[in-house]
Amino acid sequence: MRKKLLLALLLMGNISIAALARPPKVNDSQTSAINEPNNPISGGAIVETNLSNFLHSGAGGGDSRMKAGFTVGGFMNFGINKSFSVQGEMLFHNKNSDFKWDNQTGLFRYWGMEVPIYAMYHYNFSRGGHLFVGIGPYTEFGFDAVFKQNGRKSNLYEKNESSGLAPLRDSNTGFGIKIGYEFPSGLQLHATYKASVTNQLDENSSDIKMHPQTVSVGVAYRFGK
């Protein structure tokens, strides 16, 4: 997990270096006004409410139900021109969901970090606000995951002594889509949907598939307007 976390941080660093190494703007003021964003590099803070559960198969009689959690973090946006940019984010979140199996319901609770990278399209309005849509991959790193049922709590990252495998993997990768609106002040309202392509089960992964999915709504503020 530490190697994957280091890889994600290096990727974010490489994006920053690439953005800082952008060639200077051309002298033609008209061409610059059309093709270049007002601030090529900007960043800000994000706060979200999330709903999450698992898309699963092979778990006969299982039912994963969404519950609320929260997300906090920040973003860096690297402008290409007024209509396109690349945005990297670093998010820390709590996720919760119910899982029902054989008429017994337990609570899944998770803490972790996520690094999404979006290719963004911006539709700019004359008064200064803009709509944005982004799509791209993400990688998630789990710090802690537990399952509570009938007063008992199980650590889902603890390896089984006989198999050497844990119930869940502590990382997964998937794709997300983000849509929102930014006001001229830099305040943003947005919604995202993310789904993992990784089967997060470690034990019994050949028989049962469980892919995390998350829906979130939130606010952000972009500095450097």
Report pLDDT for 59: 66
At residue 55, does pLDDT exceed 50?
yes
Report pLDDT for 62: 72
Query: What average pLDDT does this structure show over 148-162?
Result: 87
Report pLDDT for 57: 79
Tokens 């997964």 — which residue?
Answer: 172
pLDDT tens digits, one per residue of 92-132:
999 999 987 666 688 999 999 999 999 999 999 988 899 99
Residues 99, 83: Cα–Cα separation, whole Å: 42
At residue 179, does pLDDT exceed 50?
yes
Domains of the chain and CATH, by start: 2-22+38-223 (2.40.160.20)
Q: Would the pTM count as exceeding 0.85?
A: no
Residues 167, 202: Cα–Cα separation, whole Å: 5
pLDDT tens digits, one per residue of 202-218:
887 777 888 999 999 99
Report pLDDT for 21: 44
> What is the chain's mean pLDDT, rounded?
84
At residue 43, does pLDDT exceed 50?
yes
